[in-house]
Amino acid sequence: MRKNMHPQVNSQYKIIAVDDEIGILDSLKVFLSKAGYSFVGVTNPLEAIEKIRNEHFDLMLLDFLMTPIHGDQVVEEIRKFNKDLYILLLTGHKDLAPPLETIKRLDIQGYCEKSDQFSQLLLLIESGIKAVSQMQLIKNINSELQTANNKLEEAYMETIEVLRFTVEAKDAYTKGHSDRVSEYSELIGKNLSLSDTDLKTLKLGGLFHDIGKIGIPDSILLKTTKLDNDEYSEIQNHPAIGAHILSNATIFKDIIPIVKHHHERFDGKGYPGKLAGNDIPYLARIAAIADAFDAMTSRRSYRDSLPLDIVKEEIKKNSGTQFDPEIASLFLHILETQTDEINRIMRKIKKTVNVNTFTIFLF
């Protein structure tokens, strides 16, 4: 036995050998048990497939010529549910091994000719076990990094939530606005049969679409009279500010187009990019009409909420100019046919949420 073989270390690794010659399995069992490995021998390749499906093994020694199926067919089945198992193919003669293309395709790590002397095989097993050990170490490190990253993203999400609540806490007339825009956007997305991923993006994008207003002075944000040109230019910066705030966390990368472009107009006269038509991100076009609808149906310091009939007329009038005409048409249909759901969102019940030192009222 090689001097660097340590049974107390090797015993944590489990090897399965598949060969229809029981004598070979018996020899391997004696040899590998002495080397300190946990060993299982199987003569039936079909049984071996099920055993690997239900138990953990680190490395497999596999005969090529077997009945009722050959070794490459065994690997074909195993790779359907196990991509990690380290496989060494045993052949009675090198000329009987499968083609190199097959070995690569099935991710067989190596092969060895059968022999009464197991020294070459032992070298390949040692090398394989080292590779398995390194891969496990890498997986553990990646798992730890992912856990740390998740905690970091959770902390960042909480910070952004505080900023969002802070924006809405400034103005009694806009509390709950982002929550409603989120729900309207998601409702439109469901009626468009969008994927679950897109629906999640719409929901999150609606919640944070106005986060950039944290960077707008209160004197402008809370002004009850008409904004002058300079003030209007200043408030037009909030989508870009919001996109910049969210760009520091990968969890927000999918919603940045919504945050940045929800004030674009279909005719190209919006901001900040003056994008037009299909150049405007699709989900941003959905959020844009949800945002406008909630703005029109909510009370403001300078006006009461607009009657629903007037809001519908405004949407019709601005279809194709401010709004994507197809989305506008669908939303008008929703307003006509899903009144209970629309009213539910409009009448969201107040509840108090404590965030650090803030007391925020959500609608």
**In this structure, are residues 188 and 286 in contact, taking their beta carbons and an 8 Å threshold?**
yes
334-339: long-range contacts, CB 8 A cutoff, minimum separation 24: 334/187, 334/188, 334/191, 335/308, 338/187
Q: Which ranges constitute the DSSP H helices of 307-352?
A: 308-317, 325-337, 339-346
Token readout for 347 is 């009448």
Evaluate whether 36 touches 5 at the Cβ level (below 8 Å): yes
- The partner residues of 362 in beta bridges, in order of sequence, read 351
- The 14-18 sheet, strands edge to edge: 38-42, 14-18, 59-63, 86-91, 110-113
Q: Which two tokens stand for residue 295?
A: 């703005």
Q: How far apart are CA 261 and CA 209, in angstroms?
A: 9
CA 269 from chain center: how many Å? 34
- Residues for the chain: how many in total? 363
Cβ atoms within 10 Å of 231's Cβ, excluding its own: 16
CB atoms within 10 A of CB 354: 9
- Secondary structure (H, E, C), 30-47: HHHHHCCCEEEEECCHHH
14 forms beta bridges with: 38
Q: Is 213 a catalytic residue?
A: yes
Other CB atoms within a 10 A radius of the CB of residue 261 amount to 24
Cis? peptide before 68, omega within 30° of 0: yes
Scan for tokens 């952004």, then name that residue: 160
| Residue that is written with structure tokens 């991100």 in the block | 281
Amino acid found at 245: I
Using CA atoms, how far apart are residues 120 and 257, in angstroms rounded to an integer?
Answer: 58
| Annotated catalytic residue, options 83, 170, 213, 348 | 213
Residues classed as catalytic:
213
